[in-house]
Chain A
């Protein structure tokens, strides 16, 4: 207990300042943390099979949870369609290759292009996207919390589903991307009106079976399962990491843990020093607290996933 006091609270053994707030301890922590980042980065790059660049989002779990939500709403479960799966993979590949986070690519390619390209002749089609989530439950829950994505998930007109989960670097940030595509084959339902309506967020096309845009040669190149750009590294159908760890998770939990720890220690320091009316000649813990509290608030927000 006294060691805890010595490390984290102002105490007579640490000159009335938590040991980890002393410049020497801070220097050691900064050095060790920087070394840790270098080691994690090197292991992930050199031995991807050990500390794989992989998410903990199995495709099968996304599909199972989607069907569970549908069944709870009295809808029929969706059937996994290999062509829709290929379309979702092509979309994810394209997003990493062209480095965009949107339903429509910078070159104007709509999601429906990938579906048509995969050979899936659709009557209805839809797309949900998610990034930076660490588990499948959070992904499906985030979609269910968004009215437009929920409409897609619980749309009775869809019969098929295809999902791709891919890890890579998007807009300068290591990301796990989830692409969920829904569809109903052209022959599966009677023909309806021929008015095409494209919406990005509702992601529903009725019925427009033809390709809408003409892709550029660069885009067509990007559509293949390529890795030459080096933008994306792996596609994740099932978790392939060791002991459930990925560099994402390791870094996230260590960094967040340290931010929380320092914020709490600084808070305790400010309160106790004020209560005991201690006089110290040091830098101001209250100023450090303001700085770290802001970073912690921002960190807790940015590590949450985003849907589109």
Chain B
């Protein structure tokens, strides 16, 4: 298990974070592009959340510190994102 500072992690895996940023930016673009199509926006939101979880698993696997607790944290954040943004999409 390799525990490093954030700075080292970023310098070791710049491509990981760049990929995540690109995927999230693509999702953001999709949310704007399908403005007033809540069903499509929900699909994009769920895709973003799944991509985020997959990114977490791959990143920590590569980092050799993957653990079920870590995966659960990504799942929790993804669920939180879906709940918060989804309620704004469908309720407000």
A residues whose Cβ falls under 8 Å from a Cβ of B = 23, 26-27, 29-30, 33-34, 37, 101, 132, 171-174, 247-249, 251-252, 255-256, 258-259, 262, 270, 273-274, 277-288, 290-292, 294-295, 297-299, 301-303, 306
Question: In this complex, which of B10, B59, B81 has the most chain A Cβ atoms within 10 angstroms of its Cβ?
Answer: B81
Contacts A290-B24, A301-B32 given; does A171 touch B38 at CB 8 Å = yes
> Out of B17, B77, B78, which one reaches A286, CB within 8 Å?
B17
Interface members, chain B 52-78 (any A CB < 8 Å): 52, 55-56, 59-60, 65, 69-70, 72-74, 76-78
Shortest beta-carbon distance, A148 to chain B, in Å?
A: 19
Interface SS of chain B: helix
Alpha-carbon distance between A305 and B35 when the two chains are bound, in angstroms: 12
Chain B residues lying within 8 Å of A282, measured Cβ to Cβ, are: 70, 73
B residues less than 8 Å from A283 (CB atoms): 56, 60, 70, 73-74, 77
B15 at the interface (CB under 8 A from A): no
Which of A101, A252, A290, A303 counts the most chain B CB atoms within 10 A?
A290
Q: Which 3 A-B pairs have the closest CB atoms?
A: A252-B92, A283-B73, A251-B91
Bound-state CA distance A286–B20 (Å) is 10
Which of B79, B85, B90 counts the most chain A CB atoms within 10 A? Answer: B85
A298 touches B32 (CB 8 A): yes
User: A281–B1 contact, CB under 8 A?
Assistant: yes
Give the distance to chain A from B10, nearest Cβ to Cβ, in Å.
7
Contact between chains at A174 and B52 (CB < 8 Å): no
Instruction: Please name the residue on chain A nearest to B91 by beta carbon.
Output: A251
